[in-house]
Amino acid sequence: MHLLNRRRAVQGLGLALLAAQGTPAWAQAAQTTPATPRRIVSVGGALTETLYALGAQDELVGADTTSLFPEAARRLPSVGYARALSAEGVLSLRPSLIVATQEAGPPAVVRQLEAARVPLVRLGADHRFEGVLARSLRLAELCGRSAAGQTLAAQLQQDWQATQAQVQSRQRGRAAPLKVLFVLSHSMAQVRVSGRDTAADAMLAYAGVANALTGFDGYKPLTPEAAIAAAPDIILATDQGLEAAGGIDGLLGAPGLAQTPAGRARRVVAQDALLMLGFGPRLPQAVAALSAALHDLA
């Protein structure tokens, strides 16, 4: 019995030493199953752009047609337009995670994706800098890159402070803010202008100018009376809309625009749609560039 107790004591001491030193490498390898790489489908250009900024591009297996930046995103398998998804198209990519904006749809397809039991996370369209920070940190959490999220958030805050200083310096000495009319025109048959609670309205405020049209929410069709009454100093469009219109001459052919102060002086500014309206990680650069373009033209 005495000898048996000694052997047990020695064995106990050995186990204690192993515990103190940590699990041996060979035991760790035997116990660890390699993690399955995530397969992420992103529905929303700004979300896709943020995933690239977080370094998660190797986990992306598909994206929607609004995912145009960076250039590499255009080569991802497409799941179609964000508002007109096909459940079969998305699920054919065997995603382990789907991230989408609240605008993703149609609703019936969203319900099908949820029923397929693939994790689907929908992130709100918050047209504020704080919203960009929150979405960036949430995406970082979802793809297991919290440290990268903190780094991105710190860089965004630094860039945002610099942008705000630039905008404020351009506003000094100006009696009243410039009045800018944003025109959304994917085709000249569907020309709309922006009111409150839109990405365009938020961008105008951040750029230090005033929305020439107020008194309504969202977007509404452009009428000659509304354009003339707004009397904008500058007309703002997207690059894609200006191209679809056939250039400045084509855009000024829209109802009433040629009769505005901006139209008569041909003061038209355009910016890439995703950069201006996406509210992604390039927001500080987008605001700085827009503010410079608008104030330099006035």
Give the DSSP H/E element, type plus range, for residue 57: none
127: amino acid identity, one letter: H
Question: Measuring CA to CA, how many Å separate 68 from each of 47, 63, 65, 78, 121?
Answer: 11, 9, 7, 11, 21
Tens of pLDDT along the chain (298 residues) come to 443 343 344 344 333 333 333 333 222 322 333 357 899 999 999 999 999 999 999 999 999 999 999 999 999 999 999 999 999 999 999 999 999 999 999 999 999 999 999 999 999 889 999 999 999 999 999 999 999 999 999 999 999 999 999 999 998 878 889 999 999 987 777 889 999 999 999 999 999 999 999 889 999 999 999 999 999 999 999 999 999 999 999 999 999 999 999 999 999 999 999 999 999 999 999 999 999 999 999 7
Q: Which residues neighbour 74 within 8 Å (Cβ) at sequence distance 6 or greater?
A: 67, 68
pLDDT value at residue 276: 97
Give the DSSP H/E element, type plus range, for residue 43: strand 40-43
Supply the pTM of this predicted model.
Answer: 0.85
The CATH fold of domain 173-297: Rossmann fold (3.40.50)
pLDDT value at residue 267: 98
* Contact in structure between 256 and 228 (CB atoms under 8 Å): yes
Q: Where are the domains of the chain?
A: 40-153, 173-297
| Domain 173-297 in the same topology as domain 40-153 | yes
Q: Which residues neighbour 77 within 8 Å (Cβ) at sequence distance 6 or greater?
A: 61, 62, 63, 93
Domain 40-153, classified CATH 3.40.50.1980, yes or no: yes
* CA-wise closest residue to 203 among 121, 273, 111: 273
